Structure 1
């Protein structure tokens, strides 16, 4: 029997990616959608043939026909809505970042554990075939000892208060700025590939922007293995790189853009280019894994704990960020 979904939050991410991934999944059925704006909700339901429309998340959670919810609301709403979903016995896939703080993440994890439900976090880049290939080459020793992991990412967002996504640069609602929003994806990959972080140094600033959240963030990380990490992320850039690099004692792996699926392998003095294209919809494997986790009573590959670990690095970075934000 398919997992019957309710979508809470029908904004840009749900519309462009996740809703279609749910509809395309053979083990899923989308029963309901929720958005406070009734006209936009009606348009979403019409576009995706969703039979039930609710303007409050409580109504979705009260629907006994729904097995799982995908929560794609602003970050400030995640904790309350995940706790409510757990109380209603609904499995939860929540958008990234998981919460505004580690404490919020801990509350969500505990509530879902007590309720006996699956909790997943939508860090979909973990499922890129090129990332899985990086992990394979690293684990098989082709890189030797890992020395460094690095990423540079940017988005040309020029946020204004009229934009639907302006909450992404309001720290009380989004939790931060560029680091929280796009940096969190890369930090999640850092933890996945390089392991636990021992220390973080950060520099966050706001340049040529009218909001107060950071639109520039640079991090230096020290991993427990001894490896180093570097992350740079920007909002409002004229270009939008998506560069990812692993450097070891025996070689280097490079992918740019990461979602392009091309991997440059410089190993043992030779270079080759591999191609590992992602799914047409980046979220398709994320949904498939979550549904499989529900059906097999296991943790999703990106569990609540992994979402929490990413938030812990973010919190550490923000706490010592210099100068400004």
Structure 2
């Protein structure tokens, strides 16, 4: 890897302000050279506030800029395929926001393009790199709770006030997002569970629109099974995701033959490990820029140190699972 890998960001919106943009700027060996947003004034403002040398209002101009070595696509999912194929054609390294694309067919096209170009495609499922979840993986990999039997994830929250007004919201427009809040949020947790416990091989679900506030589903339930572990043991899983309840819930429980682990996917809460009736709690703080470790792992792979845990090949699996769950729309 060159001493300074020059990144361009397509879509410098909210997610790039704190979560991701500063992580690319602060990772040794990386520099954000340019940003792009269709609104030229907003692109110029972002560049000025974040000390980025160049800004564009045209995606092709950024992708084909010879001063750009790698591109981070932080636009809504409906444009991921279009931009990713252009980045691959330019022969440049790419990281795309999650969910990877609108469907598995698009994900497969992206993976094929980058494989043909011989450059890596990363996906921003950054929870695979966060220390708090690596602690859970360590507990599981060392058998602290014995054989994993079942996983339950319960997530719900009250309706978004924006949606109550009828205002436009790309996250609830299936044409732009591939679904609703389930696709936007549950993708993080489902991808994480597969990182911790292996691929989900069978899944079925039900999805419906209970509130009628937008076109996408707002109530989803599912049950699944994981691939057998090395000893042939098969764990089951279930979950629900509702976006119009009395308040916020975000609770995962991994139940094993000797104990259980409890944690939250999104909340900064303690991890709880219970074995033989004794509970151990550990609080591991997230970094100020939540994608810090994810971006550092991109740098590590490009140096030849270790493979990144989230690639196009792994991310397509989360999209496939969500597709199968949403096939049960009612």
- TM class by shorter chain equals over 0.9
CA distance in 1, matches of 2:180, 2:18: 21
Residues 30, 50 of structure 1: 8 Å contact kept: yes
Q: CA deviation at 1:190?
A: 1.5
1:170 aligned onto 2:178: no
Residues 33, 52 of structure 2: 8 Å contact kept: yes
Cα 1:155–1:27 change in 2 (3 A) is farther
CA distance in 1, matches of 2:242, 2:39: 30
Cα 1:52–1:128 change in 2 (3 A) is same
Residues 162-187 of structure 1: CA distance to partner in whole angstroms, max 9, x if unpaired? 45xx1111111110012211010011
Residues 21, 284 of structure 1: 8 Å contact kept: yes
* Structure 1 residue aligned with 2:35: 33
Q: CA deviation at 1:129?
A: 1.7
Moved over 3 A (4+): 160-163, 256-259
Q: CA deviation at 1:306?
A: 0.7
Residues 95, 121 of structure 1: 8 Å contact kept: yes
What secondary structure is seen at the aligned counterpart in 2 of 1:260? coil
* Structure 2 residue aligned with 1:312: 320
* Structure 2 residue aligned with 1:87: 89
Q: CA deviation at 1:244?
A: 2.0
CA distance in 1, matches of 2:59, 2:157: 30
Residues 277-313 of structure 1: CA distance to partner in whole angstroms, max 9, x if unpaired? 2222211001111122223286421011111111111
1:66 aligned onto 2:62: no
What secondary structure is seen at the aligned counterpart in 2 of 1:168? helix
Cα 1:101–1:210 change in 2 (3 A) is same
What secondary structure is seen at the aligned counterpart in 1 of 2:20? helix
Residues 207, 325 of structure 2: 8 Å contact kept: no
- Map residues 149-298 of structure 1 onto 2, 5 A cutoff: 149-156=151-158, 157-158=160-161, 159=163, 162-163=167-168, 166-225=169-228, 226-256=234-264, 258-296=266-304
Comparing 196-205 with 64-73, which one deviates more in the overlay?
A: 196-205
Give me the TM-score of the superposition, normalised by structure 1: 0.93
Give me the TM-score of the superposition, normalised by structure 2: 0.92
Comparing 179-188 with 208-217, which one deviates more in the overlay?
A: 208-217
Q: CA deviation at 1:237?
A: 4.2
Calculate the aligned-residue CA RMSD, in Å.
1.8
* Structure 1 residue aligned with 2:9: 7
Q: Give unmatched runs, 5+ long, in structure 2.
A: 229-233
Residues 263, 274 of structure 1: 8 Å contact kept: yes
The number of equivalent residue pairs is 320
Residues 8, 32 of structure 2: 8 Å contact kept: yes
Cα 1:261–1:117 change in 2 (3 A) is farther
